[in-house]
Each structure stands twice: as structure tokens, then as C-alpha cells.
Amino acid sequence: MSRRRRSTMSEQLKNELAKDLGFYDTVQKEGWGSIKAKDAGNMVKRAIQLAEQAAAKQYQEQQTVRPQPQAQAYRPQAPSHNAQRSYAAAPATQPRTMSPAATVPPYVAQQAMANSHQHTSNMHP
């Protein structure tokens, strides 16, 4: 009992390959079941070659239509008009100093002030 498989290649392609490989007459007279295994293998090899050539041609056509971008060095873009910022240096006047209270959280400053009042009040009897 033989199994029938669905053909991957079209009849037209198989006939063209058989003509190219020289066993089309056998196929015409006796059918596809009468070809040698070697001929069938050669037909598959040739079909693969044709498919690879077609894929390579298609790939090259795509490359000529839209070439791949070349790798470029990073160049920062200018900010948009909405996001422009000035990085100019501040005028050289007096150096900015921060008050000690500005660098200390308020609750710590309040405790320090309370502690300093306690210490100073203990010094004067």
C-alpha cells in the first residue's frame, strides 16, 4: 500500500525541472513513479538552487532600493524650541553662600536653637 503525499512543487515546476535534467520523456511515457531516485534527488537539488537564487536576487533588489543605514557616531540633537535652556554661566559677582539654616532641615535647626538657648542660659547665673 503506497501513500500519496501532497506535492510541494507545482506540476509546472516539476515538468520544467525534468526537462532541464533530461528525464521529461520518461515522465511523459510512464509517469512520475517511474523516475529513478537519483533523478528525483537531482530534481530536488535543482529546485533548492533555484529557490536560493531567487531569494538572493530578491534580497539584492531590496538592498538597492533602500540601502541599510551606516553606523554613525552619536550626535546629540539640538533641543526643540519648547525645551531650550540656557547653560550660560552666572555673572561673576559675589559667590553665593547659603545660610546654615538653609542647609539644615527645619526640625534640626529648631532643636539646635533650643539647645543653644539652654546652654547659654545655664552659663549666666
Q: Let me know if 43 is exposed, middle or buried by CB neighbors in 10 A (0-12, 13-18, 19+).
A: buried
Domain range summary for the chain, segments of one domain joined by +: 11-65
> 72-125: per-residue pLDDT in tens?
766 777 666 655 555 555 555 555 555 554 555 666 666 666 665 555 555 555
63-85 tens-digit pLDDT: 886 656 677 766 777 666 655 55
Contact criterion met (CB below 8 Å) for 11 and 29: no
Alpha helices in 1-125 (DSSP H): 11-21, 24-30, 37-65, 100-103, 106-123
The single residue listed with the C-alpha cell 531590496 is 62
Q: How many residues does the chain have?
A: 125
The grid cell for 40 is 528525483
Global pTM reads: 0.46
